[in-house]
Amino acid sequence: MKTIHFLFIVCFVLLGSVANAQVTFEAKVSKKKLGLNERLRVDFEMNQDGDNFNPPNFEGFRVVGGPNQAISNSYFNGKRSYSKTYSYFLSPIGKGNVTIGQATIEIDGQTYKTSPVTVNVGDAVKMSKDGSNAEYLAEENVHLVAEVSNSNPFLSEAITVTYKLYVSHDVSITSNWRELSTPKYADFWSQNINTQGNYKIYEGKYQGEDYRYVILRSTVLYPQKTGELDIEPLTLDIPVDVRSNKRDIFGRQRMVRVNKTVSAGSRTITVKPLPIEGKPDDFTGAVGDFQFKVQTNKTTLDANESLELTTKISGKGNLKLFDLPSLKLPSALEVYTPERENQVTVQLDGMKGTIAEKYTVVPQFKGNYPVRPITFSYFNPKTERYETLSSEEVVINVENGPVATAKSAEDTAIVAEALDDTQFKFIKLDTNLNPIATTPFFKSTLFWSLLGGPMLLIPLFIVAGKKRRERLADVEGMKLRKADRLAKKYLSEARKNMNDRVVFYEALERALHNYLKAKLNIETSDFSKEKISTLLEQRQVQSGVVQEFIQLLQSCEYARYTPTSQVAIQQDYEKAAQIISTIDKQIQ
């Protein structure tokens, strides 16, 4: 009897230890029903430490906070109690029943999973407007504003968008905010001027009340299209510390942290076209206030020596978006391809600096060679008029060297007079021809080659015919090969028409479309940027390459209606060839 009692005690202890060692891993949500404008907290809690935690993808939600990790480890009456939790804060994207998938963790070499949790997202709820509601206080005391320097600019005139975050003195925030959506400037040339985290706090007014604010970033924009252009909003998720009604043991109010989503809102810019009246013939799209000059490092030299001739434009405006005037010199001066030099900085009020093209010129003959004045035209948005600048005439004096020859007709006459009969004495007029020895054609090497050659070619014709029939039977393959040939043809056509902006971009767009038909097997009627992006990503093309391809298609659409420099055309052609090559390497 004592033995049985002892065994019972041992079994009880063993069962208790097994129960204590049982692993639990579960998902807990703060609420099962919430409004579209509310937040949900999800905790993934385990009673033993693990590795390789893998959360679900949270489809249907946007993660606005987390993961936050908390560990509790305590002993009571000699027993250890352990808890580890990963917490996320989620914002619903749409209404309906949304399921949070399984999370996984590895504990002692085994993988554990949580059970899926379904929550119901309903209509947006009205927030309580009393002072005890932290969400309401955060809503009323934190604001993001996009300030535009000029909402009605001319085409290619600089404007600045400044993003300011206003915070009242009743709440406080940290710099641990993150961007949920970043503005895209599809119809603008843009460059951000970031503060790189060194935010300076200013005092200012928001709707007549005292606020603090920081400048998050400023973006310089040059519109490349006329009409109404939209600037997408900047959206941030910001942790906000709000005073609560609770107090600590010293009587001070406790702070409650809530995550707040703020957006600057979309802005619409109305871009005016450049006036047609008074537009010079040599205008190439320069907008701003500029100075222009042509200069050389020397004007006196000998033949076959070199000099440097520089065309230079300086000032403030869209310096990176137009070409310099072309240089025309006398034919006796050998001119090499110019080197471009850009010393341009982008500041809050736009581009400033100098662009120049430096030519190497080598005179061939002695003489004086004038470089006629060159004109440069631009549009000044301040005066709303076109202005034309002219360079001074430069005379290049070549002191020593060969004298240039006379006109070709005069040279021919002089040469003809100098000819006499003795100059042709080396030509032999008498012939001494001998018959060529002939061999019989019958049974010769050529005879047997002509006789047996067709017999040897018969197997090759059979194989070639079989391959041809297979190619003809492959209708889809023929369509793809035809589209591929058309893409190469149109890309070649675009290269030939680089001097005609409209024809170039039409040919380039056709080449891109036919390339997609060859690779994705889709018809022209199915072309949409969303479908192109989806199909390329399904074929394992990197998202960055897909985005560059879509931007190139957009560039083709916009550039046909806006002034475009020769440099931009060359860059778009090279970019098209590079993107097609990259997609060919990645597509599967």
- 3-state per-residue secondary structure call for 407-468: CHHHHHHHHHHHCCHHHHCCCCCCCCCCCCCCCCCCCCHHHHHHHHHHHHHHHHHHHHHHHH
Question: Is residue 524, in this structure, part of any structural domain at all?
Answer: yes
Q: Rounded to the nearest 5 degrees, what angle is found at the Cα of 252, between the Cα atoms of 250 and 253?
A: 145
Domain span at residue 315 reads 288-398
- Single out the residue in 122, 151, 175 at which a domain terminates: 122
Residue 283 confidence (pLDDT): 93
Q: Are residues 559 and 505 in the same domain?
A: yes
Give the CA radius of gyration of the chain: 39
- Residue of 285, 379, 273 lying closest to 323 (CA atoms): 285
Residue 409 confidence (pLDDT): 36
CB of 319 within 8 A of CB of 341?
A: no
Q: What are phi and psi of 226, to 5 degrees?
A: -90, 165
Q: Are residues 216 and 301 in the same domain?
A: no
- Single out the residue in 380, 398, 416 at which a domain terminates: 398
Q: Are residues 103 and 156 in the same domain?
A: no
Q: Are residues 88 and 160 in the same domain?
A: no
Q: Are residues 90 and 143 in the same domain?
A: no
Q: What are phi and psi of 119, to 5 degrees?
A: -125, 155
Residue 244 confidence (pLDDT): 73
User: Quick one: angle between helices 543-559 and 501-520, nearest 10?
Assistant: 150
Q: How far apart are CA 139 and CA 150, in angstroms?
A: 29
Q: Are residues 76 and 42 in the same domain?
A: yes
Q: Are residues 159 and 262 in the same domain?
A: yes
Type of residue numbered 313 = I
Question: Is residue 413, in this structure, part of any structural domain at all?
Answer: no
Question: Is residue 451, in this structure, part of any structural domain at all?
Answer: no
| Neighbouring residues of 100: CB distance < 8 A, sequence distance ≥ 6 | 27, 29, 42, 56, 58, 61, 116, 117, 118, 119
CB of 398 within 8 A of CB of 302?
A: yes
| Positions of the chain with pLDDT lower than 70, given as ranges | 1-21, 75-78, 126-132, 194-197, 245, 248-251, 405-439, 441, 472-490, 522-527, 560-564, 588
Question: Is residue 575, in this structure, part of any structural domain at all?
Answer: yes
DSSP letter, residue 285: S
Model confidence over 333-353: pLDDT tens digits? 888 889 999 999 999 889 999
CATH number of the domain that residue 68 is part of: 2.60.40.740
Question: Is residue 514, in this structure, part of any structural domain at all?
Answer: yes
Q: What is the pTM of this model?
A: 0.53
Residue 503 confidence (pLDDT): 80
Q: Are residues 255 and 350 in the same domain?
A: no
Q: For residue 471, what are the CA distances in angstroms to 263, 474, 477, 481? A: 57, 5, 7, 10
Q: For residue 478, what are the CA distances in angstroms to 333, 474, 524? A: 53, 6, 17
Q: How far apart are CA 120 and CA 503, in angstroms?
A: 55
Residue 135 confidence (pLDDT): 77
CB of 394 within 8 A of CB of 299?
A: yes
CATH number of the domain that residue 540 is part of: 1.20.120
Sheet containing 51-54: give its strands across.
51-54, 104-107, 110-113
| Neighbouring residues of 41: CB distance < 8 A, sequence distance ≥ 6 | 29, 30, 87, 88, 89, 90
What is the 3 state secondary structure string of 460-499? HHHHHHHHHHHHHHCHHHHHHHHHHHHHHHHHHHHHHCCC
CB of 73 within 8 A of CB of 58?
A: no
CB of 251 within 8 A of CB of 185?
A: no
Question: Is residue 465, in this structure, part of any structural domain at all?
Answer: no
Q: Rounded to the nearest 5 degrees, what angle is found at the Cα of 27, between the Cα atoms of 23 and 33?
A: 155
CATH number of the domain that residue 144 is part of: 2.60.40
Q: How far apart are CA 359 and CA 357, in angstroms?
A: 7
Question: Is residue 243, in this structure, part of any structural domain at all?
Answer: yes
Q: For residue 10, what are the CA distances in angstroms to 17, 18, 434? A: 11, 12, 127
Q: Are residues 575 and 487 in the same domain?
A: yes
Q: Are residues 73 and 195 in the same domain?
A: no
CB of 46 within 8 A of CB of 24?
A: yes
- What is the number of domains present in the chain? 4
Q: What is the SS3 assignment for 8?
A: helix
Does the N-terminal peptide bond of residue 183 adopt cis geometry, omega within 30 degrees of 0? Answer: no
| Neighbouring residues of 431: CB distance < 8 A, sequence distance ≥ 6 | none
Q: Are residues 58 and 162 in the same domain?
A: no
Question: Is residue 567, in this structure, part of any structural domain at all?
Answer: yes
Q: Are residues 255 and 343 in the same domain?
A: no
- Single out the residue in 237, 271, 305 at which a domain terminates: 271
Q: What is the SS3 assignment for 549?
A: helix
Residue 12 confidence (pLDDT): 45
Q: What is the SS3 assignment for 385?
A: strand
Q: How far apart are CA 190 and CA 218, in angstroms?
A: 10
Residue 385 confidence (pLDDT): 95
Q: How far apart are CA 64 and CA 91, in angstroms?
A: 7
